[in-house]
């Protein structure tokens, strides 16, 4: 490579990656790997941190990759770089999500307001939240989703549709505690060893889950499959679905759904980009956000859970499809104004651990 001038220096490369890893990922799995090839960056899905049961066909990882990609594009633009993006460059490498070639862009507009929200954005699982979400705010969020071709937000237009959406989300969250497969996956991502006040650099720190102090010992005990099964005979999954989804959403002014045009991986990746733009705009607007992905992801029909629950899945898929057609509703966002920023936030691994060069 001698003699060929590099456009992107080391410091800029590190800054771009730092913006990338600030992105959200399901269960804080951070399933990204990066390799620089000169001024081109390859984004891969990390085989060791993806492909779990809910991530069959990499739906959750593709969403996280899209969010990571969008953060990098936005931050680089604010530094004066434009990018040529090639999604899924090699068809037989399912983990290679994108190649991005960067170049200096003297004509580009470096004013990129969303860049300022990259480090501030976070998941907030507390409630209640205040409203209202004005039509102007909704329009700003809609515009951000639409900037990514084919992507859009759906807002329940009536109380009846909001109730139906709430029903689907509650069913999906209940299923996460009722299905032994989903229960095992969910609890394995919670780092109970860090305690209820500590932080961790990967996975979910209990402190970020907003579980009420008196409920913590019970919630922690439910990580044992036998105990979960026992309490499920008394309706525990239903109560947990109510507490984790129904109640917070009822006590929040805004609920919207990211709708993607097809289930092609390139559309899921684009969905992740749109999700991130919406979330960054919401952050700039002072809004708190909690995503609910189970309803949409389980409804796609890729996740192989116990046959006993297949009927649930088809019912959920049909209900969701009816609400937001045409397209596939993938991630619900609960939004509203919190009184303060949450004390506890998810951590990130050290930048060097993402290196795939």
Which residues of this chain interact with ligand FMN, rule CB under 6 A? 24-28, 60, 63-64, 67, 122-123, 125, 204, 290-294, 331, 345-346
Report angle CA 22, 256, 124 to the nearest 5 degrees: 40
Tell me the closest approach of the beta carbon of residue 111 to ligand FMN, in angstroms. Answer: 25
With respect to ligand FMN, which residue has the nearer C-beta, 236 or 294? 294
Taking the C-alpha atoms of residue 350 and residue 65, their distance in angstroms, rounded to an integer, is: 18
CB 58 within 8 A of CB 265: yes
Tell me the closest approach of the beta carbon of residue 188 to ligand FMN, in angstroms. Answer: 14
With respect to ligand FMN, which residue has the nearer C-beta, 174 or 290? 290
Helix/strand/coil for 98: strand
Q: Residue 8 — φ and ψ, nearest 5°?
A: -100, 115
Count the neighbouring beta carbons within 10 Å of the beta carbon of residue 218.
Answer: 12
Tell me the closest approach of the beta carbon of residue 310 to ligand FMN, in angstroms. Answer: 21
CB 123 within 8 A of CB 24: yes
Tell me the closest approach of the beta carbon of residue 56 to ligand FMN, in angstroms. Answer: 14
With respect to ligand FMN, which residue has the nearer C-beta, 50 or 346? 346
With respect to ligand FMN, which residue has the nearer C-beta, 323 or 333? 333
The backbone region for 122, taken as left when phi is positive above 0, alpha when psi lies in -120 to 50, beta otherwise, is: beta
With respect to ligand FMN, which residue has the nearer C-beta, 31 or 102? 31
Element (H, E) at 304: none
The DSSP code sequence of 130-167 is: B----HHHHHHHHHHHHTSTT-EEE---SHHHHHHHHH
Tell me the closest approach of the beta carbon of residue 331 to ligand FMN, in angstroms. Answer: 6
Tell me the closest approach of the beta carbon of residue 291 to ligand FMN, in angstroms. Answer: 4
Place of tokens 């949409």: 296
Tell me the closest approach of the beta carbon of residue 10 to ligand FMN, in angstroms. Answer: 26
With respect to ligand FMN, which residue has the nearer C-beta, 48 or 157? 48
Taking the C-alpha atoms of residue 219 and residue 241, their distance in angstroms, rounded to an integer, is: 13
Structure tokens at 268: 């899921």
With respect to ligand FMN, which residue has the nearer C-beta, 102 or 248? 248
Taking the C-alpha atoms of residue 12 and residue 6, their distance in angstroms, rounded to an integer, is: 12
**Measured at CB, which residue is nearest to ligand FMN?**
24
Q: Residue 153 — φ and ψ, nearest 5°?
A: -105, 140
With respect to ligand FMN, which residue has the nearer C-beta, 228 or 330? 330
Tell me the closest approach of the beta carbon of residue 122 to ligand FMN, in angstroms. Answer: 4
Taking the C-alpha atoms of residue 50 and residue 342, their distance in angstroms, rounded to an integer, is: 28
């Amino acid at each position: 490579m001698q003699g060929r001038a590099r456009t992107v220096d080391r410091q800029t490369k590190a800054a771009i990656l730092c913006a990338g890893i600030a992105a959200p990922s399901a269960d804080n799995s951070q399933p990204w790997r990066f390799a620089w090839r000169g001024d081109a960056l390859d984004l891969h899905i990390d085989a060791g941190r993806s492909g779990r049961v809910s991530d069959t066909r990499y739906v959750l990882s593709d969403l996280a990759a899209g969010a990571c990609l969008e953060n990098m594009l936005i931050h680089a633009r604010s530094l004066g770089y434009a990018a040529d993006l090639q999604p899924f460059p090699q068809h037989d490498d399912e983990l290679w999500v994108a190649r991005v070639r960067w170049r200096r862009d003297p004509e580009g507009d470096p004013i990129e307001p969303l860049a300022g929200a990259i480090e501030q954005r976070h998941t907030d699982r507390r409630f209640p939240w205040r409203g209202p979400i004005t039509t102007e705010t909704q329009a700003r969020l809609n515009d951000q989703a639409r900037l990514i071709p084919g992507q859009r937000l759906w807002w329940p237009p009536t109380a009846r549709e909001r109730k139906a959406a709430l029903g689907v989300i509650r069913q999906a969250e209940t299923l996460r505690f009722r299905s032994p497969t989903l229960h095992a996956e969910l609890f394995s991502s919670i780092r109970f060893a860090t305690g209820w006040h500590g932080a961790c650099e990967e996975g979910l720190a209990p402190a970020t889950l907003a579980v009420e102090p008196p409920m913590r010992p019970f919630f922690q005990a439910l990580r044992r499959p036998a105990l979960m099964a026992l309490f499920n005979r008394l309706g525990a999954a239903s109560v947990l679905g109510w507490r984790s989804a129904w109640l917070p959403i009822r006590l929040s002014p805004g609920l919207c759904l990211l709708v993607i045009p097809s289930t092609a991986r390139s559309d899921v990746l684009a969905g992740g980009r749109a999700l991130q733009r919406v979330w960054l705009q919401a952050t700039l607007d002072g809004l708190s956000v909690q995503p609910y992905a189970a309803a949409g992801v389980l409804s796609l029909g890729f996740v192989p859970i116990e046959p006993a629950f297949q009927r649930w899945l088809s019912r959920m898929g049909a209900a969701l499809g009816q609400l937001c057609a045409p397209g596939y509703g993938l991630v619900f966002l609960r939004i509203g104004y919190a009184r303060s920023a949450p004390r506890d936030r998810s951590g990130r691994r050290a930048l060097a651990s993402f290196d795939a060069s």
